[in-house]
Amino acid sequence: MTDVPQVENIEQFSEQPEEYQAACRKIVISHAINELYGSRVYDEPAIALAPTPYAKWLTCRVVMEEYGHHYRFFELGREMGIPETAMLPEMTEKSPLSIMNYNMTRWDEFCVIKLIGDLAEIIQVEDLVQCSFHPLRNLARMTMPEERFHAQFGEDFCRDICETEEGRVQIQKNLDAIFPAMPTFFGRGNSKNNVVYRKWGIKLRTNEDMREDYINRARDLVEGKFGLKLPEPVPMEMAA
């Protein structure tokens, strides 16, 4: 079994086996692309959708932090020798996550995206806070409080909307439309990448474990706190 290295800086990173370096690069590229793409298609447009000055103010904070997440991963990637073009969605062949194809047009949709989308991101970041590549570990630890704020943002505003029966119906409708594809965020169970990540201590859990944890937490949130119904996820074999 491979001894898991503890890589404290970029200099030590450059001395690691290529498999280790490539695995770390994949994670950083994925986060850089998806943080930027999500900020563009959901977070920034939500400022115009926010119904009150207070909601706009908090949404501006979310936007600032989400763009900040991209910038942190982008800068780390540059230090690791990743070309800038590989970390920008319009300049690379790597597509953003398919869950970002949802066409958001309403404020209440954004609130649900924050509620359940950022919960998924929290679980992903949790798996990096003990990462053997310490610059990535430190970045995850910096990012975690902001991801928790974003999920709480979604919870708070969804709760406000659910104060009326009409609002509860709309939030349930949004959950039915948005949630089923969300567990695909964690990738397929037979992922070769995940095997390599765990081999080198870059990640700790399998995709299946994270997906199951996500569904359980989402159910506790949606059904336990809101009294709504969590829809069934799309089977992984049917996911795009």
Residues near 138 by Cβ (< 8 Å), separated by ≥ 6? none
Please check whether residue 124 lies inside any domain of the structure. Answer: yes
Question: Is 154 part of any domain?
Answer: yes
How does pLDDT run across 89-98, given as a tens digit for each residue?
A: 888 777 777 7
Number of structural domains in the chain: 1
Q: Hey, what are 205's tokens? A: 């859990």
pLDDT at 236: 65
What is the pLDDT at residue 183?
A: 94
Query: Is residue 238 a part of any domain in this protein?
Result: no
Q: What is the CATH number of the domain that holds 147?
A: 1.20.1260.10
Residue 179 falls within a domain, yes or no? yes
Q: What percent of the chain has pLDDT over 90?
A: 87
- Residue 222, token pair as written in the block: 């949606």
pTM of the predicted structure, to 2 decimals: 0.93
Give 111-167 pLDDT, tens digit per residue: 999 999 999 999 999 999 999 999 999 999 999 999 999 999 999 999 999 999 999
The number of residues in the chain equals: 240
Q: Is residue 27 pLDDT above 50, yes or no?
A: yes
141 backbone dihedrals φ, ψ, rounded to 5° = -70, -35
Domain membership of residue 75 (yes or no) is yes
Residue 101 has pLDDT above 90, yes or no: no
Residues 6+ apart with CB under 8 A from 118: 147, 150, 151, 153, 154
List, in sequence order, every residue forming a beta bridge with 7; answer none if it has no partner.
133
Assess whether pLDDT exceeds 90 at residue 2: no
What values do phi and psi take at 7, rounded to 5? -100, 110
Q: What is the pLDDT of residue 57?
A: 98
- Asked whether residue 212 is domain-assigned, the answer is yes
User: CA of 189: how far to CAs of 185, 195, 199, 208, 239, in Å?
Assistant: 12, 10, 16, 5, 12
User: Do the domain assignments include residue 235?
Assistant: no
Residue 237 counted as domain residue: no
Domain housing 20: 10-230
Report the percent of the chain where pLDDT is more than 70: 97
Within the chain, where are the H helices? 10-13, 18-38, 44-49, 53-79, 107-112, 118-126, 134-161, 165-178, 192-199, 207-219
